[in-house]
Structure 1
């Protein structure tokens, strides 16, 4: 697929979007918050299961402690947060993507763009996927801030997705027509189109409206041979270490026919285990939201003085 966003030709954009959406679904792979699993591995599996079921609210509730979840809801209502959407690689592109899919005549426009750029170009698509994979690997190898385990996993993930894209029928015109129609139809059912709409719908309201769209995106990926839900349901793991409220687990899952392995740190709060990275991100977000709320608060008006407290200017001798 190829999509034109904000007037720019997006050759390969659809391919990149599918790759990044798959990464998003697997990078922090969401059960009932009333019965949150106590063990670190079970906690990750429960989050993954919620994502596989398109239960974005359930995933969000399992991702942070209940007290923090309530504060995140308030921060969303105040316009200071769009978590958990901002935790995804394509979080900042969600609204532009929906806007492109909801333009008048979007199906016709996107199909024409596809026909012009990708239809029948199987060899070019394979070359583009290979180039993107090579670029991604080189970027990750020189990127600072990753642990060796994280770097190895992300490189493995990029290589797997690039290999999948080289074999996927991305240039197939009939399949593209069906995918475009499905995405346009799903986008039309989302009840908001900008940041103000997201804020007005509230965190849970927005996630509830987005769930069918995300389901459609995953169905489109599956039609191209990338089973995101299958990858999420395949998550297995072993506990490597526990030191106080910190744990390290090794997760295994299968993506596009390849076995993937990653080590993930978790932290225990309020008796349950959560992804350490998620807690760090949401802690920082809530500090920023608190600071913004405090800065916007009006200064208190001094109470009027009583007769006995009336201030009188001092007289000069």
Structure 2
């Protein structure tokens, strides 16, 4: 698991297991399994991703995460001229003068045409998409059987919402464009190289902006991430010899769901066992990968 792919893993672990302005408070709130998970949920809701990682990982693992962040660029593929031009055009559209109204004028006739073409097909297409996701979950080598069952339950709750949501509604589309434009301006991304060049702190700040925009977009279409996170109720199930199990009961789109998370205690604090395992595996894999040959060394070999 690459470190830039660790953010989705962190979110998945928190949602399967289920935010504080002072580092000391976050540390103290890991003193029990329930407190550790609740603090993670609060930090996730706030979009405070730096403190979320600092809370969710032991100090040494958090330090490795920060140090390894730039090492991933060893494997980064160069951006093609075509992709660069496409991103540049998209960002210009989203951040230009009167972008919201210009984009809406461009989108409005397309929405009407898409509604005529896909209105009856969309529920079927969404069902097909869910089936593909469930197949990918079933074939995953990194998810446990319990986690696969829990994710399947969440997908079952999301399917009716996705099928019934008026995706082609023009009023909602205009609101969504407003959020997209505001988020793009706040992200202030000029080119793909800027993304690759960002350090850990800058990346976390951009993730926070994108996360806030995503939550606002979903809320426009009836899915409140904050309501789901606020609904989490944690119940300790067991705690023996430095290992604990906690059940999270929560409501997703009106449907009650539950998930269980295994935690492990290290140096008096509790951490998600799955997240810790994946973070350490990622670090080992990254350290074992040979650095690519530089242009100078390649010439010397020739």
Give TM class, smaller chain.
Answer: 0.7 to 0.9
Gaps of 5+ in 2: 1-10, 76-83, 295-302
Question: Equivalent residue for 2:24?
Answer: 34
Between Structure 1 and Structure 2, the one with more helix by share is 2
Determine helix, strand or coil for the equivalent of 2:178.
helix
Q: Paired residue for 1:102, among 91, 94, 102?
A: 91
Question: Equivalent residue for 1:261?
Answer: 258
2:38 aligned with 1:48: no
Q: Paired residue for 1:217, among 208, 214, 218?
A: 214
Q: Paired residue for 2:64, among 68, 71, 81?
A: 71
Residue by residue over 1:146-178, the C-alpha shift from the partner in whole angstroms, topping out at 9 and shown as x without a partner, is: 544323211111110111112222121221122
Determine helix, strand or coil for the equivalent of 2:121.
helix
Residue 134 of structure 1 and its aligned partner are, at CA, apart by 4.3
Determine helix, strand or coil for the equivalent of 2:146.
helix
Question: Equivalent residue for 2:78?
Answer: none
Question: Equivalent residue for 1:237?
Answer: 234
Q: Paired residue for 1:183, among 150, 166, 180?
A: 180
2:280 aligned with 1:283: yes
Question: Equivalent residue for 1:165?
Answer: 162
Could you state the TM-score of these two structures normalised by the residue count of structure 2? 0.73
Determine helix, strand or coil for the equivalent of 1:44.
helix
Q: How does 1:54-93 map to 2 (within 5 A)?
A: 54-79=47-72
- Whole-Å separation in 1 of the counterparts to 2:89 and 2:255: 33
Question: Equivalent residue for 2:79?
Answer: none
Residue by residue over 1:257-281, the C-alpha shift from the partner in whole angstroms, topping out at 9 and shown as x without a partner, is: 1111111111222321111111111
Question: Aligned residues, how many?
Answer: 266
Deviating 4+ runs (over 6 angstroms): 22-25, 97-100, 293-297
- Whole-Å separation in 2 of the counterparts to 1:115 and 1:277: 45
Determine helix, strand or coil for the equivalent of 1:171.
coil
- Whole-Å separation in 1 of the counterparts to 2:50 and 2:236: 27
Residue 117 of structure 1 and its aligned partner are, at CA, apart by 2.8
The answer to whether the 8 Å contact 1:52/1:232 transfers is yes
- Structure of higher CA gyration radius: 1
Residue 145 of structure 1 and its aligned partner are, at CA, apart by 6.1
Could you state the TM-score of these two structures normalised by the residue count of structure 1? 0.70
RMSD of equivalent CA atoms: 3.7
- Whole-Å separation in 1 of the counterparts to 2:141 and 2:285: 25
Residue by residue over 1:238-268, the C-alpha shift from the partner in whole angstroms, topping out at 9 and shown as x without a partner, is: 1112232221111111111111111111122
The answer to whether the 8 Å contact 1:80/1:289 transfers is no
Gaps of 5+ in 1: 1-21, 83-94, 298-317
Q: 1:71 to 1:187 in 2, by over 3 A?
A: same
Q: 1:195 to 1:66 in 2, by over 3 A?
A: farther
Question: Equivalent residue for 1:252?
Answer: 249
- Whole-Å separation in 2 of the counterparts to 1:113 and 1:56: 36
Which moves more between the two structures, 49-58 or 130-139?
130-139
Q: 1:194 to 1:253 in 2, by over 3 A?
A: farther
Q: 1:57 to 1:154 in 2, by over 3 A?
A: same
- Whole-Å separation in 2 of the counterparts to 1:25 and 1:180: 29
The answer to whether the 8 Å contact 1:40/1:249 transfers is yes
Structure with the greater relative contact order (CA < 8 A, sep ≥ 6): 1 or 2?
2
Determine helix, strand or coil for the equivalent of 1:189.
helix
Q: 1:104 to 1:58 in 2, by over 3 A?
A: same
Q: 1:174 to 1:236 in 2, by over 3 A?
A: same
Determine helix, strand or coil for the equivalent of 1:68.
helix
